[in-house]
């Protein structure tokens, strides 16, 4: 399982636990990170830049430290 | 408050416009109030000066008419020609109280030149034989015609008419003179205009000792030391504070000048002054004018307050209306595009961007909706490829 997919799972868990509007949160994180969360799957290859951007977006939108 | 927002910037810009606009209105209204007050003051000065000239000319005409009637009286003429002082006094004395009641306070007969001197003073019969040697005396001797004008003598400042009297043979028997104290003009001016007046006399032309003596005689306070360059000969008010002039009477412009606007309690006043010249053209005195402009000033202030309130209300309504229009036609629609784009990226392919109008924002909405269709189509194809 890739690290990117792991990050996606943790974001989804946060959305579910906080009962947030998933579409809106995914959209905001996707726009900030430049990556569509829908296309991140277990086989998505990791890249350091993509991981860093996703972490930063999650922090800004959800205040979630990954 | 989000300072990056165009809405906030627009609000700040509009607030700044409101403040500047109201500041300009207040400034303009204050300027107009000051200018109006100045206009009223100029009107008070020029109007009073014109009225003073009219009164002066009217009194000169009156004294000329009296002298016309007098020199036609052969008994008076002959007594004067014969230099019979007691006879002349006997003939003219009964007339003096009547003339005095009409304002003619000075009445003199002068001997002819050379050595022109006072032959009889109806207002002071015991005093005679003195040489006055004034400008009008020299003029009447030079012209042998009627000479009229203001003359500031030791006895006071008066408008005078002097003319020759001829004996039965047509030779100069002497001169007769009538005069009215200018001090009484201030009361006539006040009756006509409602303004307060003060007659100032230049100390250069007034004898100090005579001023002290006349003050004692008329039982008035000796005000010689109240002002450096002039004395107040007469005034219509008991309030000496309103007569404030620190300049030199010689420097007052011919047409008069406005000195200042000032307030006393709730009342607003304007002061002005115009010069008074003697027959020789010297500035021997001045008339101080004080007009109460409280009523006009109050009206101007009320108008200013109404205009200011109206401006504030209009500005605030304008700002509210403008912000509402901006919100309705721009900001709300932009927010909807942002919202739709965010949801699209988040996986919501159903939020349609409705094109509300054909304006600039409408073009953006249309463009984004087209882009959304392409994006959705791409997403469907990529999802299908991933599933395969």
Residue B68 CA: distances (Å) to CA of B71, B73, B172, B245, B292: 6, 9, 16, 41, 42
Nearest CB partner across the interface for B346, out of A23, A39, A41? A23
Do B345 and A24 lie within an 8 Å CB cutoff?
no
The residue of chain A nearest to residue B345, with distances taken between CA atoms, is A27
Instruction: Band the pLDDT of B59: cuts 50, 70, 90.
Output: very high
Do B382 and A39 lie within an 8 Å CB cutoff?
yes
Mean pLDDT of A48-66: 92
For residue B273, the model assigns a pLDDT of 92
For residue B155, the model assigns a pLDDT of 59
Nearest CB partner across the interface for A27, out of B345, B382, B386? B345
Q: A38 to chain B, minimum CA–CA distance in Å?
A: 7
Nearest CB partner across the interface for A28, out of B342, B347, B386? B342
For residue B154, the model assigns a pLDDT of 64
Contact A4, A51 (CB under 8 A): yes
Distance separating alpha carbons of residues A21 and B350, to the nearest angstrom:
15
B89: which 2 tokens?
């006094």
pTM of the shown model: 0.70
B330: which 2 tokens?
């721009």
Q: How many CB atoms lie within 10 A of CB B140?
A: 23
Mean pLDDT of A16-28: 94
Nearest CB partner across the interface for A36, out of B341, B345, B348? B345
Of the residues B338, B339, B346, B376, the best mutation for testing chain A's interface (the one with the most A CB atoms within 10 Å of its CB) is B346
Res. B3: pLDDT tops 90? no
Do A27 and B344 lie within an 8 Å CB cutoff?
yes
Q: A48 to chain B, minimum CA–CA distance in Å?
A: 22
Res. B8: pLDDT tops 90? no
Do A38 and B347 lie within an 8 Å CB cutoff?
yes
B14: which 2 tokens?
């509009």
Q: B375 to chain A, minimum CA–CA distance in Å?
A: 12
Percent with pLDDT over 70 in chain B: 98
Q: B383 to chain A, minimum CA–CA distance in Å?
A: 8
Distance separating alpha carbons of residues B109 and B382, to the nearest angstrom:
130
> Which residues of B make CB contacts under 8 Å with A?
341-348, 379, 382-383, 386
Domains, in order of start, for chain B: 6-23+300-387 (no CATH), 36-54+184-292 (3.30.450), 73-181 (3.30.450.20)
B255: exposed, middle or buried (Cβ count in 10 Å: 0-12, 13-18, 19+)? exposed
Mean pLDDT of B172-200: 90
Task: Count A/B contacts: CB-CB distance under 8 Å.
Answer: 38
Contact B206, B153 (CB under 8 A): no
Chain A residues close to B383, C-beta within 8 Å: 38
Percent with pLDDT over 90 in chain A: 73
Residue B121 CA: distances (Å) to CA of B85, B115, B182, B345: 10, 17, 19, 117
* Longest CA–CA separation in chain A, Å: 30
ipTM of the complex: 0.89
Contact B287, B274 (CB under 8 A): yes
- Mean pLDDT for all residues in chain B: 88
Mean pLDDT of B26-42: 86
- CA B340 centroid distance within chain: 70
Length of chain B as a residue count: 388
Contact B195, B189 (CB under 8 A): yes
Q: B20 to chain A, minimum CA–CA distance in Å?
A: 40
Q: B345 to chain A, minimum CA–CA distance in Å?
A: 4
Distance separating alpha carbons of residues B66 and B55, to the nearest angstrom:
16
Instruction: Band the pLDDT of B79: cuts 50, 70, 90.
Output: very high
Q: A1 to chain B, minimum CA–CA distance in Å?
A: 17
Res. A42: pLDDT tops 80? yes
Do B345 and A31 lie within an 8 Å CB cutoff?
yes
Distance separating alpha carbons of residues A1 and B98, to the nearest angstrom:
132
Distance separating alpha carbons of residues B19 and B11, to the nearest angstrom:
12
Res. B185: pLDDT tops 90? no
| Tens-digit pLDDT profile for residues B137-164 | 999 999 999 999 988 776 578 899 999 9
B118: which 2 tokens?
């006072």
Chain B residues close to A28, C-beta within 8 Å: 342, 345-346
Cβ-based neighbours of B227, under 8 Å, separated by 6 or more: B200, B245
| Tens-digit pLDDT profile for residues B317-339 | 998 999 899 999 999 999 999 99
| Tens-digit pLDDT profile for residues B84-132 | 999 999 999 999 999 999 889 899 999 998 889 999 999 889 989 988 8
For residue B119, the model assigns a pLDDT of 95
Cα pseudo-dihedral B345, B349, B352, B358, rounded to 10: 60
Instruction: Band the pLDDT of B63: cuts 50, 70, 90.
Output: very high
Chain B residues close to A36, C-beta within 8 Å: 345
Nearest CB partner across the interface for A27, out of B342, B383, B386? B342
Do B347 and A39 lie within an 8 Å CB cutoff?
no
For residue B1, the model assigns a pLDDT of 64
Q: What is the 3-state secondary structure (H, E, C) of chain B?
A: CCCCCHHHHHHHHHHHHHHHHHHHHHHHHHHHHHHHHHHHHHHHHHHHHHHHHHHHHHHHHHHHHHHHHHHCCHHHHHHHHCCCHHHHHHHHHHHHHHHHHCCCCEEEEECCCCCCCEEEECCCCCCCCCCCCCHHHHHHHHHCCCEEEEEEECCEEEEEEEEEEECCCCCEEEEEEEEEECHHHHHHHHHHHCCEEEEEEEHHHCCHHHHHHHHHHCCCCCCHHHCCCEEEEEECCCCHHHCCCCCCHHHCCCCCEEEEEEEECCEEEEEEEEEEECCCCCEEEEEEEEEECHHHHHHHHHHHHHHHHHHHHHHHHHHHHHHHHHHHHHHHHHHHHHHHHHHHHCCCCCCCCCCCCCCHHHHHHHHHHHHHHHHHHHHHHHHHHHHC
Nearest in space to A26 (alpha carbons), one of B372, B336, B347, B337: B347
Nearest CB partner across the interface for B347, out of A23, A28, A31? A23
Q: How many CB atoms lie within 10 A of CB B2?
A: 8
Q: What are phi and psi of B274, to 5 degrees?
A: -135, 150
Of the residues B337, B339, B342, B368, the best mutation for testing chain A's interface (the one with the most A CB atoms within 10 Å of its CB) is B342
């Amino acid at each position: 399982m890739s690290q990117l997919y792991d990050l996606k799972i943790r974001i989804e868990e946060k959305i579910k636990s906080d009962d947030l509007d998933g579409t809106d949160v995914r959209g905001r994180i996707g726009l900030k990170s430049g990556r569509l969360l829908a296309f991140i799957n277990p086989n998505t290859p990791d890249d350091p830049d993509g991981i860093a951007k996703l972490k930063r977006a999650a922090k800004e939108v959800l205040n979630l430290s990954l | 408050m989000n300072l990056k927002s165009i809405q906030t910037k627009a609000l700040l810009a509009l607030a700044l416009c409101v403040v500047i606009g109201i500041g300009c209105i207040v400034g303009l209204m204050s300027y107009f109030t000051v200018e109006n007050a100045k206009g009223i003051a100029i009107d008070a000065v020029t109007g009073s000066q014109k009225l003073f000239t009219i009164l002066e000319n009217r009194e000169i005409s009156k004294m000329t008419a009296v002298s016309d009637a007098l020199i036609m009286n052969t008994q008076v003429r002959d007594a004067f020609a014969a230099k019979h002082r007691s006879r002349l006094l006997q003939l003219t004395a009964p007339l003096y109280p009547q003339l005095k009641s009409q304002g003619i306070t000075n009445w003199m007969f002068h001997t002819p030149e050379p050595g022109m001197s006072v032959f009889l003073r109806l207002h002071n019969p015991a005093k005679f034989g003195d040489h006055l040697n004034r400008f009008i005396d020299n003029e009447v001797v030079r012209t042998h015609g009627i000479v009229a004008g203001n003359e500031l003598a030791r006895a006071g400042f008066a408008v005078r008419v002097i003319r020759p009297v001829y004996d039965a043979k047509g030779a100069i028997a002497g001169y007769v003179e009538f005069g009215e104290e200018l001090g009484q003009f201030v009361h006539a001016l006040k009756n006509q205009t409602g303004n307060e007046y003060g007659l100032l006399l230049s100390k250069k032309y007034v004898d100090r000792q005579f001023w002290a003596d006349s003050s004692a005689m008329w039982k008035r306070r000796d005000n010689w030391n109240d002002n450096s360059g002039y004395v107040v000969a007469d005034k219509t008010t008991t309030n000496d504070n309103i007569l404030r002039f620190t300049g030199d009477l010689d420097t007052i412009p011919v047409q008069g000048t406005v000195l200042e606007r000032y307030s006393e309690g709730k009342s607003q006043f304007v002061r002005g002054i115009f010069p008074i010249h003697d027959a020789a053209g010297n500035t021997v005195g001045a008339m101080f004018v004080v007009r109460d402009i409280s009523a006009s000033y109050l009206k101007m202030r009320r108008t200013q307050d109404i205009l200011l309130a109206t401006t504030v209300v209009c500005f605030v309504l304008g700002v509210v209306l403008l912000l509402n229009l901006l919100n309705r036609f721009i900001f709300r629609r932009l927010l909807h595009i942002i919202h739709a784009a965010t949801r699209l990226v988040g996986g919501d392919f159903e939020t349609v961007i409705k094109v509300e109008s054909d304006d600039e924002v409408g073009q953006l909405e249309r463009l984004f909706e087209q882009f959304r269709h392409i994006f959705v189509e791409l997403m469907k194809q990529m999802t299908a490829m991933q599933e395969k």
